[in-house]
Amino acid sequence: MTPTRVRRQVVGIALALAILAYVQRVAISQAAGPISTDLGLDKAQMGMVFGAFGLSYALFEIPMGLSGDRLGVKKILTRLVLAWSFFTALTGAAWSLASMWVIRFLFGAGEAGCFPNLTRMLSQWLPRPERVKAQALMWACTRWGGAVTPPLVLLAINVVGWRWAFVMFGLLGVAWVLWFRRSFTENPANHPGVNEAELALLAESQALVGQSHGSWLALLLRPQALLLCVQYFCWSYVWYFFVTWMPTFLGEVHGQSAAGMAGLSVLPLLMGGLGSLTAGLLPLAIPRHTVAIICFISVAILMALVPFAPNVWVAIGLLALTAFLGDMLVPISWNQCVELGQGYTATMGAAMNMFANFSGFLAPVVGGMLLKASGNDWAPMLWLMSGVAGLGAMSWIIMGAAGTAPAVAKG
């Protein structure tokens, strides 16, 4: 009997939400100019607005991941997507720094459960070889979703203004929930379209996500779990530059117009998506910790060179290559969450993403402070990101030396 392919529909649902989440998340970076003008915000204050999302995203990661492990993906994602889409739309109603900060904080709290629960969804609906590729494709789609966002936001702002643009993006989340509720079942055995052959393919995956060894806290305190979290923090610290300060950098340092900033901002995110796909297609025999070390060292070098770029094309080329190499780390890291977490897959992913989004809070805030303190000199911000990438390389070196890094991606 040929297996049915309902699991591919599930992958489509996951990819759509991953793209949507990044479109809603990245929109504010392109709208930073008109928001700052309308609300009278300086760079340090705009950095606080950017950072509000990262702070709440980090704080609510583990509670949202635990909720998904205990309540199921369908219940938790329905509630979360409706909540964060509401606050996406409400962004357009902000009238001050305080109101914008609170709205973005609550938006981040909603999005906190997205990727840990999507990882659990893919883990229970895909056999291991397909899961590795699906993780790579999902993260590629997040970057590509982010890549198309700048021109979409610019178009929306020009047509309806930045306030109504956020309302439009919020409505997309409601549409996704309607599709999800009608199409997804928690257990493959309960889906009317799944035959016995497809269930047999998913038997091992169902067993994996059903295993729990000890408490979730004991899992998170294991050395390999902590090191995995630290290295993800380091890449995220660099990555948040692309969706917060990069358009402003291109405008101020390299004289780009709003259209130029939007167009060039697409390139690093497109290259990041290709990096994620590349990681998923690497031969299984290549040690993943070696790939991670090489990527982090390369990122550190490239970011250190960006302040010396003689023109915008060299600068965007360095940033695009940084995104490509750095995003190769993403599917490697998330697949390791499944192997470590098992029955606590969403919780392990939430912990790792929590560290990442503490960096999402720190990076734009610290960046704004450095710009203000240095009189708009961008070099200190970029060099700090270079140093953080070096710390990421050290984390993987320690994992490899201790025998806790994944030698190959299990498939």
Among candidate residues 22, 30, 20, the one with its CA nearest the CA of residue 162: 30
Q: How far apart are CA 198 and CA 6, in angstroms?
A: 8
6-402: in CATH 1.20.1250.20: yes
Give pTM, 2 decimals.
0.74
Please write the tens of the pLDDT for every residue from 372-389: 888 888 889 999 999 999
pLDDT tens digits along 236-292: 999 988 878 888 888 888 777 777 777 787 788 889 889 988 988 887 678 877 888
Residue 275 or residue 404, greater confidence: 275
The predicted pLDDT at position 411 comes to: 33
**Does 119 score more than 90 pLDDT?**
no
pLDDT, residue 402, reads 56
Q: Say what the alpha-carbon torsion angle 22, 146, 276, 4 is, to the nearest 10 degrees.
A: 60
192: how many CB neighbours lie within 10 A of its CB? 6
The DSSP 8-state label assigned to residue 407 in this structure reads S
* Sequence-separated (6 or more) residues with CB below 8 Å from residue 397: 293
Q: Determine which of 182-186, 300-304, 389-393 has the lowest per-residue pLDDT on average.
A: 182-186
CA distances to 44, 146, 165, 258, 382 from 41, rounded to whole Å, are 8, 24, 20, 18, 23
